[in-house]
Amino acid sequence: MKAEINTIWIDLNEELYKFILSKVKDEQISKDIRQEVFLKVQTKIHQLNHTSKFTSWVYQITRNTIIDHFRKVNDKKISVNALDIPEVDIENFEYSKLTNCINQKIENLSSLHKEAILLTAFKDYSQKELAEYLKISYSGTKSRVQKAKEILKKSILDCPNVESDRTGKLLDYINN
């Protein structure tokens, strides 16, 4: 069984790295997470009853390790202030290009709504990934994201440099 798993691991290694990188967006952190997954696989391999389930088992460990990573990072406090946003390249972070008024509106959201907006809009979490991360139902996550967007939209429409049509659809903003 061990030789079979080693062969599968060799085949899975690069694919796993690409998967982690697509979620984390940082090469070094992705390598660290892959190493952590490898260690978990080695220490928990005795729990695997069927080698046919090895790949899905490894991916489940990987997803959980990625979630744990973001929990550690986000325990520091999710903040709109670009200096406090963990692992974000300020130069390439779209949020930094928004106006001060819009930034302030996001900052004024409740912590639950702010977290939902930041993770889905700026950290590219899908709503399913957010549900896993928050450990709440998918429908609960969808509601939270929708409510956060509604609150933010109403709030942003009050900004003097935001242009909208008669129906309240955001058209443009002028960067100050």
- Other C-beta atoms closer than 10 Å to the C-beta of 161 total 13
Query: In this structure, are 62 and 97 located in the same domain?
Result: no
In terms of domains, do 169 and 97 share one?
A: yes
Q: Give the end of a domain, one of 47, 74, 101.
A: 74
What would the pLDDT profile of 95-137 be if each residue is shown by its tens digit?
444 556 667 787 888 888 888 888 887 777 888 988 988 889 9
Contact 136, 119 (CB under 8 A): no
Q: Among 30, 47, 74, where does a domain finish?
A: 74
109 and 46 both lie in a single domain: no
Full residue range of the structural domain in which residue 128 is found: 90-173
Residue 87 clears pLDDT 70, i.e. is over it: no
Asked whether residue 94 falls in the same domain as residue 168, the answer is: yes
Residue 79 covered by a domain: no
Whether residues 164 and 105 share a domain: the answer is yes
Distance CA(92)–CA(3), nearest Å, equals 44
Say whether pLDDT at 147 is over 90.
Answer: yes
Judge if 19 and 66 occupy the same domain: yes
pLDDT digits (tens, 9 = 90+) for 6-60: 776 777 888 889 889 988 888 999 999 999 998 888 888 887 777 777 777 888 8
* CATH number assigned to the domain comprising residue 13: 1.10.1740.10
Cα–Cα distance between 38 and 145 in angstroms, integer? 34
* Residue 145 domain flag: yes
pLDDT at site 174: 60
Q: What is the pTM of this model?
A: 0.42
Tell me how many domains the chain contains. Answer: 2
